[in-house]
Amino acid sequence: MLVCLNVLPAPPQVGPDRAAAEWLLRCGASVRWKGSGKLLNDYNSLPRGEYRRYKIEAVDATDSSVMEVGFPHLEGLEELREIRLRNCKCDTVL
C-alpha cells in the first residue's frame, strides 16, 4: 500500500504544488505554503480553488511514509526551500 501512495500520478490541472501537497499529506507529511507561518497536515484543510496560487515553501516528512520512489512528485516546486526527512517509516513493498 505504501508504494501505491508514493507512485500515484496526480491530476496535472491543479499544478505541481497542489499535486505534491496532496501526495505529501496522503503519506503523512506536512507542508507550509509560501507566506504562511504554519504547517498544514490535514488533507481536508487543503485550500479550495485557485490551486496554482499556493506554492510549497517547506515540507516536513518526519515520521511519514514518504519514499524515494515518490520524489518525482516534487518536480516543479519552484519555491521549495526546506525538506525534513526524519524517521520516515517506509518499507518497500513489492
Q: With respect to residue 15, please indicate whether it lies within any of the assigned structural domains.
A: yes
Q: With respect to residue 51, please indicate whether it lies within any of the assigned structural domains.
A: yes
Instruction: Please state the domain count of the chain.
Output: 1
List, as one string, the DSSP characters of 10-70. Answer: PPGGG-HHHHHHHHHHHTT-EEEETT-SS-B--GGGSPPS-GGG--EEEEE-TTS---GGG
pLDDT at 76: 94
Q: What whole-number distance in Å separates Cα of residue 18 and Cα of residue 89? A: 23
Q: With respect to residue 68, please indicate whether it lies within any of the assigned structural domains.
A: yes
Tens digit of pLDDT at every position of the chain (94 positions): 555 556 655 555 889 999 999 999 999 999 999 999 999 999 999 998 888 899 999 999 999 999 888 899 999 999 999 999 998 876 554 4
Q: With respect to residue 56, please indicate whether it lies within any of the assigned structural domains.
A: yes
The domain of 46 spans 2-84
pLDDT at 94: 41
Q: With respect to residue 94, please indicate whether it lies within any of the assigned structural domains.
A: no
Q: What whole-number distance in Å separates Cα of residue 26 and Cα of residue 12? A: 17
Q: What is the CATH number of the domain that holds 37?
A: 3.80.10.10
The reported pTM is: 0.81
Helix (H, G, I), strand (E, B) or coil at 85: coil
